[in-house]
Structure 1
Amino acid sequence: MTDQSTKELDCALCIVGAGYAGLNALNAAAKYLPAGARVVVLDRNATWGGQWIDQYRFVRLHQPHRLFVAGDQPWALDAPPEHLATHGEILDYLTSVPRISAAELEVDARFGHEYRSHSVDRGRVLVRARDAEGRALGVRADRLLIAKGFDITIRPPFPIASDAVESLSVTDPRVADAAAAATPAPLVVIGSGKTAMDCVLHLVGLGTRRPIHVVTGRGSYFMVRDTCFPTGWRRHVSGLMSNTSFLETARLYEGGEGAAVYRWHLERGYMHSVFPDPGSYMLGQLSTAERTTIAAAVAAAHRGHLVDVVGERRPRMVLRCRDGELREVPVAPGATFINCTNHLEDRPHRPVLTDGGLVCAPQLALVFSGSSAYFATHLWYRDELGSLAGELRRPDWNAAPLAIAPRATLVLLANMLRMIPRLPRRIAAAYLGDFNLWYPPHRRIRPILRLLAARSMIEAKAARWATLRYSDVPAAQGEQSRSPGIAPSGA
């Protein structure tokens, strides 16, 4: 029961998360809920969009915009197929999803409210939330879907001891002012992933005359966007389909950092890097032209992870090298450091299905948050999730940096080969976020057949190298169900 001072809502479905994962879940759930059914959406942000709301304004999608979707809802944007959507375009699309995908439902978005916990009461789920002022909100729902996705938080400015330099977050509008400043002191980009590469391109686009330095950390590989998404007639004869890349990754991975996997992609021109000998890969994409522009623009690349900047008259960067040793690198007074370090964090996980099947938490069962939510929600409403939820593997974000992607690929393939066959073909065919849709139908057939034929190999590799499951431990402390005596369904 809720306290008498707690406001309580009633609904058919409560979704936690108004970002990419939550909107994919809403798109799928709308196929099963009756017209007029109420869906309450809880999110700590002020509107739809999740992490995209606070992202840096010059962000663009990795992939062509029409492959970044909520389920089966296409874009209405008048742009070439290969267009990389901008920050505003992404938010416009995401904001349109409730209006279009859930047009027949009563969607009650409670922004500024954070999910705290839930319990089961008389066959329904009682969800507890609070707003920023601490006011409680209760939601009594037939079902609860926790769709937080990656739950990304934007990094603040890098903490620096020296007052002789400036430190900014990549989202700070003063980045543009720093780029325009008339000083020979460098702009120092911290990081070498997609955010950092976007930042360098942005600084170049602003026409900065300041030298650009990059503190590269481990350095990062990128897929070559030109070969993943070739344009025009090349889609019919060339390019690397994601199913082919995933299958070759599974075939070649034999533990460790997966040297054979990277060698296969590099030798065929499917993968590249801006800085030599990179030590990580997080599924980012970079075109050949972008790589060339960045390489030409960077005046100095400093290998290592930034620890601090010390000294006032003669400031020095303190870097931690791969071998763990610290070294100091002089930097000019007045330098501006821009924090573009990794925004992903390893969040506590929970079972995919709990509370007798009333609560679903797709998380990253298919590695990508949108597809995970879309397919898990369909399975959930069709009563197909309970028998396989306990077997779903989860990515290991704490693996060695170069091992993360190959092992995540095994998770993706193993779970996909369990989940998709449980659904009617029309549901998988309707999903517009499949990267393979970039290619004409006749080119997609062979990779799919090869994947199906390799099922035993994939499962054997996953059993050895992707051993973590969402059912491994109870729900995360502070977010777990308070309903005693109810075992996770499918465990």
Structure 2
Amino acid sequence: MRQMETDYLIVGAGAVGLAFADTMLDEDPDCHITIVDRHSKPGGHWNDAYSFVALHQPSATYGVNSMELCPDRVDTHGHNEGMYPLAKHSEILAYYGKLMNERMLPSGRVSYLPLTDYVSKDGKEHTVRGILSGDEKTIHVRRKLVDATWFQTSVPSTHKPSFEIAKGTRFAIPGDLPGLWKERDNLPSHYIVLGAGKTAMDSVVWLLESGVPASKIGWVRPRDSWMFNRALLQPAQARIEGLIEFQQALVETAATSETGDEMFAKLGERGVMLRIDPDITPKMFHFAVISQGEIDMLRTVEQVYRQGRVTKIEPGAMHFADETVDVPEDTLFIDCTATAVPFEARDNARPIFEGDRITIQVVQAPFVPYSAALAAFLEANFDTDQERNALCPPAPLTDSTETYPYAVMANLFSTGILSANPKTNAFNARSRLHPTGPAITKLIAEGSPKLAGLQEVGAAVEKNMPGVIKLGMKAKAIHEGAEQTG
């Protein structure tokens, strides 16, 4: 068994682990980092994602602090036309490959062990094992273990369906769809998408854009979801007015609502939230972002099944708990039921900093890479776990309309805490991953008239905060009740 030494052992070379490592390289020039990951290339779950996936959020605030993800330009066609780019699957993997090969490894301060499992810990000695070789190494960790796997991101290619699949059933995951050209002589006459989340939406859009008529697509949607309107969530340096409108709408609707559903209805009226079916009141909210163009396409699919979750699929039939639905014999069922972030992980929330362990969690929902970079900054610039944890209580991982106001309240509290500390306020001002920090810094330096809008939203937050807290605490009680019974 070979032995290595390192200061920080990071488990996971995805968006979380790499954002932490990138910031740590800048904030602590003396530290050494070792990264272990099960995949053969950096990028974490992006290695397993379907080829036509793209970011929901603008690329301007995704990735790592030291390197831009996409050119700062506006898309000129497609359902994202007129808005800033959303990095695609291949671009994201290339980005993380470039980060590893052109920044991290050449620094001489990063060791990268791909195709490697983290096995166990015994004091400061940690064991890892090569997946293909079976060889074990002991890594002596001088400082801390960094767990970058808390989110347990699930994608269709690594997800096990919870329903029965009868022999002979035509079954696919989204990643299989681009390969349908190989079956040009045996294409299905009908397609049914299983799942209501953003993966299912992506798959429906792909089918439509690839020429499948909407009449040949069915969609099992047990629950509908509200989604952020992407038009308002453009990069702050380009369209801070939209972010101002968004933040003001959040606090004003929260302060004047008795329930999360009422808040969402008001946000829908203001165009801040979008939904596919205007006649259905969504109960789900997973922080997805969508454009009106995508919504318009999704609405063309009229064959929607709302009987609940599928229990079995077979040629010619689809079974629910209390009903069986006949479908064409050669229907291709497309499984989109994997949950990108398993919300049961919220039950495992713990302090981010605990002695010789850092468990990276979301600090401001849904900004995952920013939260990881902030954790690295806190590790390098504050002396005690008590100080660090006071600055970054984990944000609640809410998943419903009734609990989302708790996340809104928590994000505002977090913003106040970080703004009040000179060190973290300065970090946010220069962090590329922060949604507004660098843009506001630039506006201040320029003396921009847009600062008036920021002052207005600040006043709106202050005025409405009592109402935000009132609704947020109601939502917190619901959220914590769900944890106890989930």
TM range (shorter): 0.7 to 0.9
Pick closer, same or farther for the CA change 1:163–1:294 going to 2, 3 Å.
Answer: same
Is the Cα contact below 8 Å between 1:147 and 1:361 reproduced in 2? yes
**Bigger mean CA deviation after superposition, 139-148 or 182-191:** 182-191
Instruction: Tell me what 1:317 maps to.
Output: 318
Instruction: Tell me what 1:344 maps to.
Output: 341
**How far did 1:226 drift?**
2.0
**How far did 1:113 drift?**
1.7
Q: Deviations over 1:147-167 (max 9, x none)?
A: 225221223474434345311
Q: In 2, Cα distance between the equivalents of 1:438 and 1:166? A: 50
TM-score by length of 2: 0.80
Aligned counterparts, 1:93-132, within 5 A: 93-98=95-100, 102=104, 104-120=107-123, 125-132=124-131
Q: In 2, Cα distance between the equivalents of 1:251 and 1:463? A: 12
Q: In 1, Cα distance between the equivalents of 2:456 and 2:180? A: 48
The one-letter amino acid of 2:341's match is L
Secondary structure at the aligned position of 1:403 is classed as coil
Is the Cα contact below 8 Å between 2:352 and 2:360 reproduced in 1? yes
Q: Please give the root-mean-square deviation of Cα atoms over the aligned residues, in Å.
A: 3.5
Q: In 1, Cα distance between the equivalents of 2:438 and 2:84? A: 9
**How far did 1:305 drift?**
3.1
Instruction: Tell me what 1:466 maps to.
Output: 476
Answering whether residue 291 of structure 2 is matched by residue 287 of structure 1, we say yes
Aligned counterparts, 1:396-435, within 5 A: 397=397, 401-422=400-421, 423-435=423-435
Q: In 2, Cα distance between the equivalents of 1:302 and 1:153? A: 24
Instruction: Tell me what 2:268 maps to.
Output: 266
Q: Deviations over 1:170-216 (max 9, x none)?
A: 22256634995665631111112211111111112222257011101
**How far did 1:94 drift?**
2.2
TM-score by length of 1: 0.79
Instruction: Tell me what 1:481 maps to.
Output: none
Q: In 1, Cα distance between the equivalents of 2:32 and 2:455? A: 40
Instruction: Tell me what 2:5 maps to.
Output: 10
* Among candidates 19, 22, 41, match of residue 24 of structure 1: 19
Instruction: Tell me what 1:86 maps to.
Output: 88
Secondary structure at the aligned position of 1:305 is classed as coil
Instruction: Tell me what 2:360 maps to.
Output: 362
* Among candidates 300, 303, 307, match of residue 300 of structure 1: 303
Pick closer, same or farther for the CA change 1:243–1:211 going to 2, 3 Å.
Answer: same
The gaps in structure 2 that reach 5 residues or longer are 75-82, 444-449
**How far did 1:109 drift?**
0.6
Count of aligned residue pairs for this structure pair: 447
Pick closer, same or farther for the CA change 1:362–1:463 going to 2, 3 Å.
Answer: farther
Secondary structure at the aligned position of 1:466 is classed as helix
Q: In 1, Cα distance between the equivalents of 2:324 and 2:308? A: 11
Aligned counterparts, 1:130-149, within 5 A: 130-132=129-131, 134-141=134-141, 142-148=143-149
Instruction: Tell me what 2:216 maps to.
Output: 211
The one-letter amino acid of 1:53's match is N
Instruction: Tell me what 2:446 maps to.
Output: none
**How far did 1:28 drift?**
1.7
**How far did 1:238 drift?**
5.2
Is the Cα contact below 8 Å between 1:166 and 1:335 reproduced in 2? yes
**How far did 1:336 drift?**
0.6
Q: In 2, Cα distance between the equivalents of 1:450 and 1:118? A: 49
**Bigger mean CA deviation after superposition, 457-466 or 400-409:** 457-466
Pick closer, same or farther for the CA change 1:350–1:55 going to 2, 3 Å.
Answer: same
User: Percent same amino acid among aligned pairs?
Assistant: 20
Q: In 2, Cα distance between the equivalents of 1:409 and 1:9? A: 44
**How far did 1:339 drift?**
0.9
Secondary structure at the aligned position of 2:295 is classed as helix
Pick closer, same or farther for the CA change 1:463–1:218 going to 2, 3 Å.
Answer: closer
**How far did 1:373 drift?**
1.0
